[in-house]
């Protein structure tokens, strides 16, 4: 197996980060999707669970799009985490997770940028994707479980650039480090961000998100079902995690939904 779960668990237990001490670590050689696995088990989970798979045969992005992986080049995992918050309070969560990833990558020596709403770029190409799925806790309170799925390209999956017709971001320098170390560092950053997010919401992360904003000040367009629905200059994000665009008619705030963000010069 490429990732040893016990080694990740040991690294987390041995760290001085109290936010990771309850996380249960599971590593499997193969599964369809770590997000799907955890979503299925949500009603029975008592503690946060980190599930990592060497090989995912049905990795998913937003709106059922596929996230493609290959065991040698990808690090794919999901973290199930319970928030003492109702669903609507988690709107900015994908962006906060992006901050955790970008900051952890920085610690690992990889300079990444964030593309709203859920992508991590390197030199303008997609290095990592985030998919968050949620379910009400089902108890008496207003708690919500979130399953936070992350796919990180250490290398470029074979043929993917050709198939997608665009460059793919990768972090080959991380392939020289034990995967367990990379995963523990990312999980630790993630847990800290989730605890802070639960307490203060996305407002506490706006400045940190903007520090990594890949399209800041650039002409962009928002595309919905192949149609341009908004154009202007990328201004940043607000407290709800909406994307702010300066248009000729003032500032517009765009909710993630299933829209796509592109630079003006990009084709689709």
Select from 61, 71, 124, 219 the one that contacts ligand ATP (CB under 6 A): 61
What burial class does residue 124 get, using C-beta atoms within 10 Å of its C-beta: 0-12 exposed, 13-18 middle, 19+ buried? middle
Q: What are phi and psi of 47, to 5 degrees?
A: -130, 160
Select from 48, 51, 52, 67 the one that contacts ligand ATP (CB under 6 A): 67
Minimum CB distance to ligand ATP, residue 138 (Å): 28
| Residues touching ligand ATP, count (CB under 6 A) | 18
CA 44, 90, 221 angle in degrees (round to 5)?
130
Q: Can residue 37 be called a binding residue for ligand ATP (CB under 6 A)?
A: no
Select from 9, 168, 174, 237 the one that contacts ligand ATP (CB under 6 A): 168
> Using N-to-C axis directions, what is the helix angle for 179-200 and 5-14, rounded to 10°?
50
- Closer to ligand ATP by CB, 80 or 261: give it: 261
Minimum CB distance to ligand ATP, residue 209 (Å): 16
Q: Can residue 164 be called a binding residue for ligand ATP (CB under 6 A)?
A: yes
Identify which of 77, 71, 60, 75 has the alpha carbon closest to the alpha carbon of residue 23.
Answer: 77
Select from 26, 54, 103, 119 the one that contacts ligand ATP (CB under 6 A): 119
Whole-number Å distance between alpha carbons of 8 and 4: 7
Residue located via tokens 């998913």: 60
Q: Can residue 98 be called a binding residue for ligand ATP (CB under 6 A)?
A: no
Q: Can residue 175 be called a binding residue for ligand ATP (CB under 6 A)?
A: no
Minimum CB distance to ligand ATP, residue 159 (Å): 11
Q: Can residue 94 be called a binding residue for ligand ATP (CB under 6 A)?
A: no
Minimum CB distance to ligand ATP, residue 148 (Å): 13
Q: Containing H/E element for 97?
A: helix 93-107
Select from 126, 179, 221, 242 the one that contacts ligand ATP (CB under 6 A): 126
- Using DSSP's 3-state secondary structure scheme, residue 123 falls into coil
Whole-number Å distance between alpha carbons of 82 and 136: 9
Q: What tokens appear for 221 in the block? A: 């367009």
Q: Can residue 124 be called a binding residue for ligand ATP (CB under 6 A)?
A: no
222, 255 Cβ separation under 8 angstroms: no
> Using CB under 6 A as the criterion, which residues of the chain lie in contact with ligand ATP when the complex forms?
61-62, 65-69, 118-119, 126, 129, 151, 153, 157, 160, 164, 168, 260
């Amino acid at each position: 197996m490429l990732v040893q779960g016990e080694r990740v668990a040991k690294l987390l237990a041995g760290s001085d980060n109290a936010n990771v001490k309850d996380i249960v670590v599971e590593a499997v050689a193969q599964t369809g999707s770590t997000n799907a696995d955890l979503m299925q088990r949500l009603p029975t989970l008592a503690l946060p669970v980190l599930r990592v798979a060497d090989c995912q045969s049905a990795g998913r992005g937003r709106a059922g799009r596929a996230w493609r992986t290959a065991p040698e080049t990808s690090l794919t995992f999901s973290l199930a985490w319970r928030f003492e918050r109702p669903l609507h309070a988690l709107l900015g969560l994908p962006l906060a997770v992006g901050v955790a990833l970008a900051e952890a990558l920085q610690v690992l020596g990889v300079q990444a940028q964030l593309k709203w709403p859920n992508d991590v770029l390197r030199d303008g190409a997609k290095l990592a994707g985030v998919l968050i799925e949620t379910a009400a806790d089902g108890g008496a309170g207003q708690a919500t479980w979130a399953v936070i799925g992350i796919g990180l390209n250490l290398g470029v999956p074979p043929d993917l650039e050709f198939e997608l017709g665009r460059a793919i971001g990768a972090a080959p320098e991380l392939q020289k480090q034990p995967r367990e170390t990379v995963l523990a560092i990312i999980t630790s950053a993630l847990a800290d961000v989730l605890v802070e997010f639960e307490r203060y919401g996305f407002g506490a992360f706006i400045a940190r998100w903007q520090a990594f904003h890949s399209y800041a000040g650039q002409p962009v367009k928002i595309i919905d079902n192949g149609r341009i629905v908004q154009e202007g200059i990328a201004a940043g994000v607000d407290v709800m995690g909406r994307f702010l665009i300066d248009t000729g008619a003032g500032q517009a705030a765009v909710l993630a939904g299933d829209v796509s963000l592109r630079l003006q010069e990009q084709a689709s």
